[in-house]
A and B are shown apart, each in its own frame.
Chain A
Amino acid sequence: AQSVTQPDIHITVSEGASLELRCNYSYGATPYLFWYVQSPGQGLQLLLKYFSGDTLVQGIKGFEAEFKRSQSSFNLRKPSVHWSDAAEYFCAVGALGLTGGGNKLTFGTGTQLKVEL
Chain B
Amino acid sequence: DAGITQSPRHKVTETGTPVTLRCHQTENHRYMYWYRQDPGHGLRLIHYSYGVKDTDKGEVSDGYSVSRSKTEDFLLTLESATSSQTSVYFCAISEGYLAGGYTFGSGTRLTVV
Docked Cα-Cα span, A19 to B86, in Å, equals 33
Q: Do the beta carbons of A32 and B99 come within 8 Å of each other?
A: yes
- Assuming the A-B contacts A32-B99, A90-B42, A98-B50, are A42 and B106 also in contact, with contact meaning beta carbons closer than 8 angstroms in the complex? yes
B14 at the interface (CB under 8 A from A): no
Q: Do the beta carbons of A101 and B99 come within 8 Å of each other?
A: no
Main secondary structure of the interface of A (DSSP, over half): strand
Q: Do the beta carbons of A32 and B104 come within 8 Å of each other?
A: no
Q: Do the beta carbons of A44 and B42 come within 8 Å of each other?
A: no
Distance to closest chain B CB from A24 (angstroms)? 14
- Assuming the A-B contacts A34-B101, A43-B105, A45-B1, are A102 and B96 also in contact, with contact meaning beta carbons closer than 8 angstroms in the complex? yes
Q: How many residues of A contact B (CB 8 A)?
A: 29
Chain B, interface size: which category? 20 to 34
Q: Do the beta carbons of B56 and A99 come within 8 Å of each other?
A: yes
Docked Cα-Cα span, A41 to B6, in Å, equals 13
Note all chain B residues with C-beta closer than 8 A to A11.
none
Q: Do the beta carbons of B56 and A103 come within 8 Å of each other?
A: no
Q: Do the beta carbons of B106 and A103 come within 8 Å of each other?
A: no
Note all chain A residues with C-beta closer than 8 A to B54.
99-100
Indicate the member of B1, B30, B99, B102 with the most A CB atoms within 10 Å. Answer: B102
The 5 closest A-B pairs by CB, nearest first: A100-B50, A43-B104, A102-B96, A109-B42, A99-B56
Q: Please list the residues of chain A having a beta carbon within 8 angstroms of any beta carbon in chain B.
A: 9, 32, 34, 36, 41-46, 49, 51, 90, 92, 94-96, 98-105, 107-110
A-B contact pairs, 27 of them (CB 8 A): A9-B40, A32-B99, A42-B106, A43-B105, A43-B106, A43-B107, A44-B90, A46-B101, A49-B99, A49-B101, A90-B42, A92-B101, A96-B98, A98-B48, A99-B50, A100-B50, A101-B96, A102-B50, A102-B94, A103-B31, A103-B96, A103-B98, A105-B102, A108-B42, A109-B40, A109-B42, A110-B42
